[in-house]
Structure 1
Amino acid sequence: MNGEHGRSGPTVGVEEEFLLVDPATRGVVAAGSRVVARAAPALGACVSGEFTECQVEGKTPPCARMDELRAELLRVRTGLAAAARAEGLRLCASGTPVIGGDGCRTEIGGHPRYRAGLLQYRRMLDDFAVCALHVHVHLPDRETAVLVGNHLRPWLPLLVAMSANSPFHEGRDTGYAAWRPVIRGRFPCLGPPPYAESLADHLRQAEAMAATEAVLEPGMPFWDVRPNPALPTLEVRTMDVQPDVDGTVALTALIRALVVTAARRVVDGDPGPRTGAELLRAAYWRAARDGWSGDGFDAPTGRRLPPSAQAGRLFRHLRPVLRAYGDEERAAAFLRRLDAHGSAAERQRALLAARPRLEAVVDDLVRRTCPDDDTAAPPEE
C-alpha cells in the first residue's frame, strides 16, 4: 500500500494551534505576528500565524515513530512558549478562549485567504478564535485518500468526544464539552465531509460548494477529513488542540492506524460505509455537547452508545495495526486515562468546581501546554 514504511508505519505530521494569553488577566492577546517573528529563527517553517492575531500555530516535520513525534512536538511547543514569554505572554492549548480579551475581536491574520474569508463569511467570523489539532498521514494516492475518508467519517464524532477541550468560551460555561465544533458547525464548508464515490466525485462536490461561495476555493475544502491540497497526506481536522503532548501523540497513533486499516480495505475493494450526513452531524453535536462522559450516539447504527464503548470497538478494530507499529500500549493507556479521568474538558470543569475561578483553569492549561516551562504561569493567589 502506498505510504506504508515497514514496521514504523507511514509518516505523520501534526499541526497544533495555540492561544496567546496575558499572565495577569489570562485573557487572550493579539500578538501572533510578534511571537512568530521571535520563534522563527529557531523553528523556521515549524511556526506560523493563524486566523486571528491571538493565535499561533506549531507544525512538526514528518515523523515515522511516535517517540520521534513526541520529541518534535515538545521542541516546537518549547520554542513557541519561549517566544511568547519574551513578549510577556503565555502559550495556552485550549480549543476556545477560556477568558475573553481584546484579542478575541482583533483583526485577522495577514494571509490573503483569511482576508478573503472575512469578505465571504462576514460576522460569522467574529468569534472564530478556535484552536485545533490537525493530523496528517502520508497517503499520496488521492483516489485512495478520498475513499479512506469514507471509512473515517463514522468515527469522527468519537474523535470529537475524545479530544474535547473547549467547555468555556470568553468567561462563560457553554454547557458543552467542546464548544469549538459548535462554532465551526455554523459554516456550510466545515465539519464531516460528504460521502464520495471517487476522487472525481469528491472534486465535483467541492466545485459545487465553491459555486455557492460556501467554499473559498474548490481545491481547498475545509472538511474534517480531506486529501491535503498541498501535501501527499490525508488530513484529519476534527479534534480540539490537546493541553498535553501525550494526548496529541496517542490521538495521532489512533488516527494513523485508522487510515492504514481503511486504506487496506479500500485496496480490497471496499469504498466505505454510507453513513448518512444528517445522523453524522447529529452525532457530532451530541459528542460536542456531552463529550466523553455522555451517553453518546453511534452514527452507523443510529443508537445511543457511550464513547467508552465506541472507543473499545475502535481499539479492537485497530489493534493489529497498532501492535504492528508498536503503538498498542500507548493507545490503550490513553483510553484507560479517558475512562478514569475523562477528557480535558472534564478536567477543566473539575478544576473550576474545586476553585471557582476561571483563571485557575487557564493556569493549568498553560502549565500542561509546556510542562518544562518553569515560568509558564504565575503562582496561584
Structure 2
Amino acid sequence: MTSKGRTPAVPEGAGSATGYDAPAAGRRRRALTVGAEEEYLLVDPVTRELRPEARKVVAEAASELGERVTTEITCYQVEARTDPHTSLAAFADQVRAMRTAVVRAAARHGLGVVSSGTPVLSQPWPPAVTDGPRYARSVAMFGALDDEQTICACHLHIGIPDVGLALKVSNHLRSRLPQLIALSANSPYWQGRDTGYASWRTLAWARWPAAGPPPHFDSTEHFDALVEDLTATGTIMDRGGLYWDIRPSHHVPTLEIRAFDAAPTAADTVLLAAVTRALVATALADIETGRPAFRPPSGLLRTACWRAARDGLTGDAVDLHTRRLQPAVRLVERMLDDLRPALLHHGDLETVTAGWARLRTLGNGAERQRAAHRGRHRVSDVVDALAEAVGAADQDDD
C-alpha cells in the first residue's frame, strides 16, 4: 500500500462520541447476528477467461452446501451464503468452508474460482444469462444494464427483524458508505484494462435506477410508499429490485449492507463483517439514546461514494462533515475509533485491529490486484492471484 501508518490506537473513551456505553450494552444487549452472501466468478485455469458452467458447479457444491449455494443472473457466477451467526469465529469458519466447497466443486469440472468485484479479462458479450423467468423478465425490462451483471458483491446481513428499526439504522449508516466502499474495493480491472478506479463495480451498479446510497427515510410509511411508486412506475420489478447499498432484506429478517465488492479472501470478508456489525450496534445505541442520524446532502454523499470508488484507500476521500478532502485511511481510522465499544462488546476488536493492520500493509483487494499486475504486466497474473487467494485457508498471517 502506498500510504502506510499506524494501526489506530483506539482511545478508551471513544464511545462517548457515539453514545455507545459498552458495559451497559453488555448487560442489556445480546450479540447481533451476522451472515453473508458471497458471489464468485468461474474461470478457465488456462485461458483465465470466464466459463459459463455455474449450473454444474452449483449442483456439485450442493452436496456439501445444500441450498446455501445457488446460481446468479449470469452463467459465470456462483453465489454461496452462510447461516446467521452471533460468533464471529463460527462465521469465519463457515465462510472458509463454503469457499473451499465451491473451489473443490469447480476443480472437479476443470475450473477455477475467483472472488473479485468484476471480471479481470474481457467477457463474452452479451453474457450468457441463467435460464429462469425472473432473469428473462429483467433482461426484457432493463436491456443492456443486464449485460454488465457479471459483477460480484459481498452482501452482509445483520439481524434486525423490525423493518422500522432497520430503516432507522440505515439512516445512521448512510454516511459511512464511502469508508465501506474504500475498505472493500476489489474491482480495478474491466475488459482486460485498469479502469483507474479501485471499485469499478460500484460505478457499474450506480447506473441502475434504485442503486447507490439509500434515501433517508422518515418512517416505514415513507419507505412503503416509495417502494410502491418505484414498482408502479416500472422502475423496479418488485422489492427485490431495490439495489441500494443498504436495505431491509426482502427475504430474511435482516438489514442488508450491499456496498462491498466481492472480497478476495475469507479474512477480508470477516473483517468487513465485524466492522459492519459494529456499525449497526453503534447505530442502535444512538437510536436508543435519541441521537439523530448525521444527514449529509444526498449529492455530496453520492460524490463521496464516487471518490471512494475511485481512490479506495490510497488517495483522498470526502469528509462529509467538513466537506473537504482528507486521506482515506484517516477517515477509516476515525470510524474504527468510533466503533471500539461495539467491537469490544462483540469480542471483535482483536480481529478488526489485526485485519486493519493487514490492509495497511498489503492494501485492499484493488491494491493487491494491481500489485499482481506490476510483476510482469500481465493481466492473467491478476486472475491467478485471485484464484490463489479465494481458497486460502487463512490470510491474516500474510
1:241 paired to 2:262: yes
Look up the match of 2:148: 127
RCO higher in structure (CA 8 A, sep ≥6): 2
1:279 paired to 2:300: yes
Look up the match of 1:160: 181
Look up the SS of the partner of 1:304 in the other structure. Answer: strand
Look up the match of 1:308: 329
TM-aligned CA deviation for residue 280 of structure 1: 1.0
1:173 paired to 2:199: no
Look up the match of 2:93: 71
Q: TM-score, normalised by structure 1?
A: 0.93
TM-aligned CA deviation for residue 152 of structure 1: 0.4
Structure 1 unaligned regions, length at least 5: 374-381
Look up the match of 1:90: 112
Runs of 4+ in 1 over 4 A off after TM superposition: 4-8
Over 3 Å counting, the alpha-carbon distance change for 1:71 and 1:6 in structure 2 is farther
The code of the aligned residue for 1:236 comes to I
Over 3 Å counting, the alpha-carbon distance change for 1:154 and 1:372 in structure 2 is closer
Separation of aligned partners in 2, 1:372 and 1:170: 29
Q: Is the 8 A contact 1:244 1:368 kept in 2?
A: yes
Give the one of 200, 207, 215 matched to 1:194: 215
Which residues of 2 match residues 1-381 of structure 1 at below 5 A?
A: 9-102=31-124, 105-218=126-239, 220-371=241-392
Over 3 Å counting, the alpha-carbon distance change for 1:246 and 1:217 in structure 2 is same
Superposed CA offset, 1:234-253 (max 9, x none): 00000001111111001100
Look up the SS of the partner of 1:305 in the other structure. Answer: strand
Structure 2 unaligned regions, length at least 5: 1-25
Separation of aligned partners in 2, 1:343 and 1:219: 29
Separation of aligned partners in 2, 1:235 and 1:342: 25
Look up the SS of the partner of 1:237 in the other structure. Answer: strand
Q: TM-score, normalised by structure 2?
A: 0.89
TM-aligned CA deviation for residue 212 of structure 1: 2.8
Separation of aligned partners in 1, 2:389 and 2:29: 31
The code of the aligned residue for 2:54 comes to G
The code of the aligned residue for 1:89 comes to L
Separation of aligned partners in 2, 1:205 and 1:274: 19
Q: Is the 8 A contact 1:209 1:218 kept in 2?
A: no
Seq. identity, %: 41
TM-aligned CA deviation for residue 348 of structure 1: 1.1
Superposed CA offset, 1:37-59 (max 9, x none): 11112210110101111000010
TM-aligned CA deviation for residue 6 of structure 1: 7.5
Q: Is the 8 A contact 2:155 2:258 kept in 1?
A: yes
Look up the SS of the partner of 1:235 in the other structure. Answer: strand
After alignment, is 329-338 or 190-199 more displaced?
A: 329-338
Look up the SS of the partner of 1:79 in the other structure. Answer: helix
TM-aligned CA deviation for residue 216 of structure 1: 1.5
Separation of aligned partners in 2, 1:337 and 1:212: 46
TM-aligned CA deviation for residue 110 of structure 1: 3.0
Q: Is the 8 A contact 1:134 1:236 kept in 2?
A: yes
Look up the SS of the partner of 2:170 in the other structure. Answer: helix
Q: Is the 8 A contact 1:153 1:193 kept in 2?
A: yes
Q: Is the 8 A contact 1:12 1:136 kept in 2?
A: yes
Over 3 Å counting, the alpha-carbon distance change for 1:222 and 1:271 in structure 2 is farther
Over 3 Å counting, the alpha-carbon distance change for 1:6 and 1:70 in structure 2 is farther
Superposed CA offset, 1:128-185 (max 9, x none): 2000000000011111100100000000111111111000112111111111011111
Superposed CA offset, 1:313-369 (max 9, x none): 111111001011111111112222222232111111112111211111111101110
Q: Is the 8 A contact 1:63 1:69 kept in 2?
A: yes
After alignment, is 216-225 or 355-364 more displaced?
A: 216-225
Cα RMSD after superposing both structures: 2.0
Q: Is the 8 A contact 1:17 1:58 kept in 2?
A: yes
Look up the match of 1:377: none
Look up the match of 2:15: none
Q: Is the 8 A contact 2:96 2:393 kept in 1?
A: no
Over 3 Å counting, the alpha-carbon distance change for 1:219 and 1:74 in structure 2 is closer
Separation of aligned partners in 1, 2:141 and 2:42: 26
Q: Is the 8 A contact 1:32 1:54 kept in 2?
A: yes
Q: Is the 8 A contact 2:69 2:80 kept in 1?
A: yes
Separation of aligned partners in 1, 2:56 and 2:359: 36
| Count of paired positions | 371
Look up the SS of the partner of 2:367 in the other structure. Answer: helix
The code of the aligned residue for 1:40 comes to A
TM-aligned CA deviation for residue 193 of structure 1: 0.4
Look up the SS of the partner of 2:222 in the other structure. Answer: helix
